[in-house]
Amino acid sequence: MAKIKYLLVDMSVLPDVYARVIEAKGYLQSGEAANSSQAAKMAGISRSAYYKYKDKIFEYSEQGDDALTINAKLKDNAGVLSSVMNELYLAGANILAVNQSVPVNNIADVSITVRFSDAQQITDDIIETIKNVDGVKTAELV
């Protein structure tokens, strides 16, 4: 079996059908299209063109590289996690994942993975703000 090789290519030099396949895949992913036939029609390509390229063309995204994880220990009180999430929202964070353990001795370990829009960076100030939320025992960026 031949090894798969990848290239990173500027879309402007490729045939329009490739961009339209990406567009059709987006319609399916977002739910705007109920099936591949509808997605292909919305993107202005044939079903055969969609099926020919759908498993070979992927949109490049740098977003996966800038995700940050915050680990915290929270008291098992109502609203503590919600207050932490609110502080992250106010700081411009997009919450990607939240994992919380079952509390032991009234303390739960929480891991929150976030991404900041507009190339904002999480700072020590935001971590300090989270630490100051009532019920937060510790918070650190990992």
Over residues 89-115, the pLDDT tens digits come to: 888 888 999 999 999 999 999 999 988
> Has residue 70 got a pLDDT over 70?
yes
**Residue 61: pLDDT above 90?**
no
Domains and CATH numbers, the chain: 14-53 (no CATH), 63-141 (3.30.70.260)
Place of tokens 């370990």: 109
Place of tokens 């339209």: 20
Note the pLDDT tens digit of each residue in 19-53: 999 999 999 999 999 999 999 999 999 999 999 99
What pLDDT is attached to residue 59?
84
Specify the 3-state DSSP secondary structure of 132: coil
Judged against a pLDDT cut of 70, whether residue 87 lies above it is answered with yes
pTM for the whole structure: 0.58
Spatial CA neighbour of 97 closest among 66, 117, 67: 67
CB environment 90-109: b (16+ within 10 A), e (fewer):
ebebeeeeeeeeeeeeeebe
Helical residues (DSSP H) of 10-134, grouped into ranges: 16-30, 36-43, 47-53, 80-90, 124-131
Q: What is the mean pLDDT of the chain?
A: 89
